[in-house]
Amino acid sequence: MADGYDPQAIERRWQQVWESTGTYEVDNDDPRPHWYTLCMYPYPSGSAHMGHVRNYTFGDVIVRYRTMQGYAVLSPMGFDSFGLPAENAAIRTGRHPREFTDERIVQLRSSILRIGAVYEWRRQVTSHSPEYQRWTQWIFLRLLESGLAYRRNAPVNWCPGCQTVLANEQVLADGTCERSGDAVDKRDLEQWFFKITDYAQQLLDDLDALDWPERVKTMQRNWIGRSEGAEFSMVVTDVDGAAHPEGLSIRVFTTRPDTSFGMTYAVMAPEHPAVAAVTTDDQREAVQAFVARARQASDVERMSSEGSLDKRGVFTGSFVRNPFTGRSVPLYLADYVLMGYGTGAIMAVPAEDQRDWDFAMAHGLPIVRTIEPPADFDGEAYTGEGPHINSDWLDGMGKQEAIAAAIGFLEREGIGEHRINYRLRDWLVSRQRFWGCPIPVVHCDSCGVVPVPADQLPVLAPDDVEFLPTGESPLRAHAEFLHTTCPRCGAPAQRETDTMDTFVDSSWYFLRFTDPWNDEAPFSPEAARAWLPVDQYIGGVEHAILHLMYARFFTKALADLGVAPPELREPFTRLFTQGMIRLGGDKMSKSKGNLVAPEEILDTQGADALRLAHLFVGPPQDDVDWEGVGIDGCSRFLQRVWRLARGEVGGLPVDREHTDADLAIRRALHRLIARVDEDFERWSYNTVVASFMEFTNELHRYVQADAAPEAGVLAECIDTLLLLMAPMAPHITAELWEARRGGHIHEQRWPTADPALLVVDTVTMVVQINGKVRERIEVPAGIDAGAAEELALTSARVRELLDGATIRKVICRPPNLINLVI
């Protein structure tokens, strides 16, 4: 069958047409209203997998839909091309990561093309390109200059498997590396950080106005972890309450200063700088042993005691004076207190904190309730509301009142104040890796850290390096790269060999897309203004915290530095997070070896069927099981449309007066138009496909009815259906449109529903008796309650069922429903 539906032939042809006609190329000064749609740029992993297909299909539907609606749509694509897999492959094969990466970019790009997704390829960026690195480094230097980038010695997570430092977020909850699964331990290194904590409050506040999934916003809020309380100092004393000879005091943070009268001991983190000073001679040995153990213990071990009663800790020999009671309480070290949060020391109130309770029980420390629990309370620590007791001048107060009073006291005493703490930490950007963007500074013995001058950027990693599985970055071993001269004093100096976290690259790529040719700045504020914020950002929920938080931080920082427009506070107005693809309940992933290759389907049923299947299977935000993706049904549907549009089904169309059947099918068509628009707006793609199928079924019945179809009506139905389907099934609709009408379907105007055809004149009213449906009556759409009741009561069937019973109540919702209560 020469003119049968042949997906391969038409798909290849149209993909070439889209590339050559430039329909989806847009300039910054395009006069149409602007719309920026962006899919998270991928790590170039080789051929596209089903997750990519799903992601880019959603994006492509929006691009084509908005374009047909008359927008200038910016839809760029790029590659997140730095990262560990390429480097690990280099170590394995000895090939340079760039060769490897470039190859995979070509592969991924062509397999993205095969699903029919269209992009503004002129604007493609890759994070490893010299131009992109130049501007990543330039931004780094601006952050350094403004104090938002800094270096400090810090204990970091060290993965022995990957031989590199991991960010906290890359360590799983059980203390293992998210990539290799090895147990992570601690090492001290000089590290570069970005001061994201300066923006903690803004990052929290600005979430409110974003049109993002609520769960993503919640995750970000939790990650920022704002907590409000008080910070204050306590004098270190000996057992008799005499002040420490050096006048030492320690600072603690608490969210419950109102419970201070219940403090029965205090705790410092084992890493606290004052540990040595507060340790008494007779406790020194025990303390040193404890500290050594805690430092060496990986997070796995440290967390393993969670929830148990044997909270590990040791007495320092010193005491601190509770400023509220004037009495001294013992000062402990315990690993449940973290140096990284608050002040690294706490006042312990076992009666109102379960962790303190557990520790107190394990160490035989006293417990004093300061909040009266309800009479039926049978738990341990009580964290609920209640009147204060055992608290002197706080007694009888409620929580809020008491907190305010306690803070007032600390302020009057001059030892403390109200304080807000965030769980969010500064962003550790150093990576001891080769395949990343080099941090553009040199270390000079006399000048210290010196930025590489902007005109010498980019600092590129050398090509002639050996990749050995030593774990050390080849940069350190590369004499030519390592040894340089200080840009400030000219003396011999060493280059920084740390590279940046790849999240740095992805924190500004969406800005570069607006101005990818700029060679004087990463992008101009005008270009950014032309497109940003991104109207629709689409990606996996796995990036809900890190990437999105970092990109938000960069946007704010760059705006404040005058690089981006100052009014640009948020990068992504609307976010959509699509669900994952699973296979038999498991996450589908390369590491699980359960990938279903898109190629198999592209080679048989074709891209349109594959796209439709992904759209149809269920709500886009939900995870789907590949087993449930019904390619066959979608393929069958497309073939039906093909035959219908080519006049291969039903009677020959004729020109004639319109009949009721013609009107009915036109009404169905216009309802479909309205429905598709509504469903597009609410991301209900699965129901859009369902309504296409429903309408096509109806159209089938129309053309196969006894009366021949009316030519004009049939043409309107088919052409409009093709237009509506064009964003989802771009190839087949383009082919059919060209054959029927000539020209490019994707350059046509999006159809609008005729309001007159949306008005219905009769509807089916259900008649309920005691809430059960007993009868259906066709009624005029404008029927009023009285007439509806009248009609219902005259129905023979209703009369029979009522059997003379007294109607106690009539609830009438004309024209849809009437309920008779007897």
Q: CB nearer to RNA: give 357 or 434.
A: 357
* Number of Cβ within a 10 Å radius of residue 659: 13
Quote the CA–CA distance of 685 and 260 in Å, as a whole number: 56
Quote the CA–CA distance of 474 and 466 in Å, as a whole number: 7
CB of 303: closest distance to RNA in angstroms? 5
Among the listed residues 47, 594, 768, 795, the single contact to RNA using CB under 7 A: 768
- Considering only residues 737 to 766 of the shown chain, the ones binding RNA according to CB under 7 A are 763-764, 766
Instruction: Assess 623 for contact with RNA (CB under 7 A).
Output: yes
Q: CB nearer to RNA: give 383 or 748.
A: 383
Nearest to 226 by CA among 191, 192, 255, 266: 255
Instruction: Assess 34 for contact with RNA (CB under 7 A).
Output: no
Among the listed residues 309, 491, 707, 773, the single contact to RNA using CB under 7 A: 773
Give the distance from CA 68 to its chain's centroid: 28
CB of 774: closest distance to RNA in angstroms? 6
What counts of helices (H) and strands (E) characterise the chain?
28, 30
Q: CB nearer to RNA: give 124 or 768.
A: 768
Give the distance from CA 319 to its chain's centroid: 46
Q: Pull the structure tokens for residue 459.
A: 């600092």
The span of 129-137, 152-160, 469-477, 770-778 binding RNA (CB under 7 A) equals 770-778
CB of 564: closest distance to RNA in angstroms? 28
Among the listed residues 161, 540, 633, 653, the single contact to RNA using CB under 7 A: 633
Among the listed residues 129, 518, 594, 684, the single contact to RNA using CB under 7 A: 684
Q: CB nearer to RNA: give 39 or 541.
A: 541
Q: What are phi and psi of 579, to 5 degrees?
A: -75, 165
- Considering only residues 267 to 286 of the shown chain, the ones binding RNA according to CB under 7 A are 269
Q: CB nearer to RNA: give 91 or 269.
A: 269
Q: At what angle do helices 631-645 and 730-741 cross, to 10 degrees?
A: 10
Pair 242, 249: CB distance under 8 Å: no
CB of 466: closest distance to RNA in angstroms? 36
- Considering only residues 413 to 442 of the shown chain, the ones binding RNA according to CB under 7 A are 421, 423
Quote the CA–CA distance of 427 and 556 in Å, as a whole number: 15
H or E stretch including 334? strand 328-334
Instruction: Assess 527 for contact with RNA (CB under 7 A).
Output: no
CB of 58: closest distance to RNA in angstroms? 15
The span of 136-144, 473-481, 541-549, 662-670 binding RNA (CB under 7 A) equals 541-549
- Considering only residues 589 to 618 of the shown chain, the ones binding RNA according to CB under 7 A are 616-618
- Considering only residues 657 to 676 of the shown chain, the ones binding RNA according to CB under 7 A are 675
For residue 440, give every residue at least 6 positions away whose Cβ sits within 8 Å of its Cβ, in sequence order, or none: 137, 140, 141, 451, 452, 457, 458, 459, 496
- Considering only residues 635 to 654 of the shown chain, the ones binding RNA according to CB under 7 A are 636-637, 639-640
- Considering only residues 140 to 199 of the shown chain, the ones binding RNA according to CB under 7 A are 168-169, 173
- Considering only residues 340 to 359 of the shown chain, the ones binding RNA according to CB under 7 A are 340-344, 346, 353, 355
Pair 97, 499: CB distance under 8 Å: no
CB of 559: closest distance to RNA in angstroms? 27
Pair 288, 296: CB distance under 8 Å: no
Q: CB nearer to RNA: give 196 or 442.
A: 196
Quote the CA–CA distance of 15 and 12 in Å, as a whole number: 5
Instruction: Assess 296 for contact with RNA (CB under 7 A).
Output: no
Instruction: Assess 701 for contact with RNA (CB under 7 A).
Output: yes
Q: CB nearer to RNA: give 487 or 618.
A: 618
Quote the CA–CA distance of 620 and 524 in Å, as a whole number: 35
List the beta bridge partners of residue 229: 419
Q: CB nearer to RNA: give 34 or 667.
A: 667
Q: CB nearer to RNA: give 159 or 559.
A: 159
Quote the CA–CA distance of 665 and 649 in Å, as a whole number: 16
- Considering only residues 702 to 721 of the shown chain, the ones binding RNA according to CB under 7 A are 704
Q: CB nearer to RNA: give 144 or 638.
A: 638
Instruction: Assess 295 for contact with RNA (CB under 7 A).
Output: no
CB of 223: closest distance to RNA in angstroms? 6
* Number of Cβ within a 10 Å radius of residue 329: 20
Instruction: Assess 686 for contact with RNA (CB under 7 A).
Output: yes
Among the listed residues 624, 641, 732, 798, the single contact to RNA using CB under 7 A: 624
Q: CB nearer to RNA: give 30 or 694.
A: 694
DSSP state of 342: T
Tell me the one-letter amino acid at 277.
A
H or E stretch including 715? helix 711-725
Q: CB nearer to RNA: give 115 or 337.
A: 337
Buried b (16+ CB within 10 A) or exposed e, 189-206: eebbbbbbbbbbeebbee
The contact pattern for RNA, residues 214-233, with x = CB under 7 A and - = no contact, is xx--xx--xx-x-x-x----
Q: CB nearer to RNA: give 279 or 577.
A: 577
Q: CB nearer to RNA: give 630 or 780.
A: 630
* Number of Cβ within a 10 Å radius of residue 478: 18
Query: What's the Rg (C-alpha) of the chain?
Result: 34
Quote the CA–CA distance of 571 and 210 in Å, as a whole number: 10
Q: Pull the structure tokens for residue 495.
A: 């280059």
User: For the CA atoms of 788, 790, 791, 793, what is the dihedral angle to 10 degrees?
Assistant: 120
Instruction: Assess 303 for contact with RNA (CB under 7 A).
Output: yes
Give the total of residues touching RNA (CB under 7 A). 92
Nearest to 199 by CA among 139, 148, 143: 148
CB of 416: closest distance to RNA in angstroms? 13
